[in-house]
């Protein structure tokens, strides 16, 4: 038999001539009649070329009619989180600008504290300290070093700003889908009192099961994608916070430099706390699905259809978790552990440089 032929496995009797449409769901093609009853189904071969497309476009989550979408708490929650991430982006932009311009504004006070030979190798006005093996006081060389220095700072900081913002955007999307799922499920259950046809109720419950399964599948793929990147993020955040604290407390820099480093330290703490808070929110939100189902009118369902409720309840036993591979789950306790790690790096710097540095 040709592998390209569509051989259907009959569900109820033979495929009648009044078949209305052909639907594709979860890699299974289903033939239904005019009333929406499944007549036959066929397992489709996986297409590797479409895996990224289905992951990126969230195509496995079924479209919900516009009149069934809830305009409730998850929209206000989304606006709240969006404003927080926007504030974090504005803070980062303002901090980078201040970090680039402040050394130039205070250049005169820097010149009075450095010798001429020192200024040749570490010129005043740069955002960071350098030791350049040639004379850098010439204006062309100075402008080149200043441009490269600021470009490296902007690239590094924005890279670490966009990572939590990207993950936060995915988490907001998943949380909105979970909120909408709770509303759709409650809507299906509440309508069962007025709906006498059990087949229509069963079709709605099946859609809820597939909807919840698709949300879990999508969230798992997203979290697995970032799990290894988050290891690097944790290590870099810990070491950077330790180095900035060392610059503020130990080194004999000017007050202006200490203020700049303190602003950067606050930004790193805020970024890491936000991503941990996002991980805590998605874990709590996935657990709230079982509470919403328990508080619904599931007892009005026919006994035969309550198995669909049990399927969803069993899937909610294991909550969604944003995890860094081999490190831990991103929750509020992890932020405390990372701050402890940063303090350990700080004490290591003290041990290596000595108390008089």
Same domain, 103 and 3: no
Joined together, the tokens standing for residue 108 give: 């005169």
Same domain, 80 and 152: yes
List for the chain the helix, strand, coil content (%; round to 5): 65, 5, 25
Low-confidence ranges of the chain (pLDDT < 50): 1-28, 39-74, 357
Distances (CA, A) of 227 to 265, 295, 315, 328: 24, 34, 22, 10
Dist. CA 95–CA 302, nearest whole Å:
60
Same domain, 199 and 331: yes
pTM of the predicted protein model: 0.69
Joined together, the tokens standing for residue 287 give: 């657990």
Same domain, 186 and 210: yes
Dist. CA 271–CA 38, nearest whole Å:
50
Same domain, 147 and 181: yes
Q: Are 167 and 322 in contact (CB under 8 A)?
A: yes
Same domain, 38 and 11: yes
Same domain, 257 and 297: yes
Same domain, 239 and 285: yes
Could you list the residue range(s) of the whole structural domain that residue 340 is in? Answer: 52-353
Residue 304: exposed, middle, or buried by beta-carbon count in 10 A (0-12, 13-18, 19+)? exposed
Same domain, 287 and 334: yes
How many Cα atoms are found within 13 Å in the side-chain-facing hemisphere of 15?
A: 14
Same domain, 317 and 248: yes
Joined together, the tokens standing for residue 14 give: 């033979």
* pLDDT for residue 132: 81
Q: Which of 293, 292, 291, 280 is nearest to 320 (CA)?
A: 280
Count of structural domains within the chain: 2
Same domain, 37 and 182: no
Same domain, 100 and 33: no
């Amino acid at each position: 038999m040709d592998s390209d032929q569509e051989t259907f496995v009959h569900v109820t009797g033979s495929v009648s001539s009044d078949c209305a449409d052909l639907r594709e769901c979860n890699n299974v093609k289903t033939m239904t009649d005019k009333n929406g009853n499944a007549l036959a189904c066929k397992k489709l071969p996986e297409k590797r070329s479409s895996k990224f497309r289905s992951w990126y476009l969230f195509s496995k989550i079924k479209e919900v009619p516009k009149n069934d979408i809830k305009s409730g708490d998850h929209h206000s929650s989304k606006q709240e989180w969006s404003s927080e991430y926007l504030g974090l982006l504005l803070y980062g932009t303002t901090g980078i600008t201040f970090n680039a311009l402040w050394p130039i504004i205070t250049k005169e006070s820097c010149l009075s504290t450095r010798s001429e030979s020192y200024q040749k190798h570490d010129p005043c006005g740069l955002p960071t300290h350098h030791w350049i093996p040639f004379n850098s006081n010439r204006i062309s060389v100075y402008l080149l070093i200043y441009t490269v220095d600021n470009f490296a700072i902007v690239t590094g900081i924005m890279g670490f700003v966009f990572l939590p913002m990207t993950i936060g955007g995915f988490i907001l999307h998943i949380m909105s889908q979970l909120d909408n799922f709770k509303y759709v499920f409650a809507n299906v259950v509440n309508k069962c009192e007025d709906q006498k046809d059990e087949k229509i109720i069963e079709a709605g419950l099946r859609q809820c099961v597939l909807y919840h399964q698709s949300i879990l599948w999508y969230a798992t793929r997203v979290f697995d994608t970032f799990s290894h990147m988050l290891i690097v993020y944790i290590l870099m955040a810990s070491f950077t916070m330790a180095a900035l604290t060392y610059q503020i407390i130990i080194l004999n820099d000017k007050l202006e430099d200490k203020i700049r480093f303190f602003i950067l330290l606050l930004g790193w703490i805020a970024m890491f706390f936000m991503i941990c808070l996002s991980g805590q929110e998605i874990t709590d939100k996935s657990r709230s699905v079982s509470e919403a189902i328990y508080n619904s009118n599931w007892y009005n369902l026919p006994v035969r259809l309550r198995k669909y409720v049990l399927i969803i309840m069993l899937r909610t036993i294991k909550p969604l978790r944003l995890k860094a591979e081999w490190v831990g789950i991103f929750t509020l306790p992890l932020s405390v552990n990372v701050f402890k790690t940063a303090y350990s790096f700080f004490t290591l710097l003290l041990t290596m440089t000595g108390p008089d540095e």
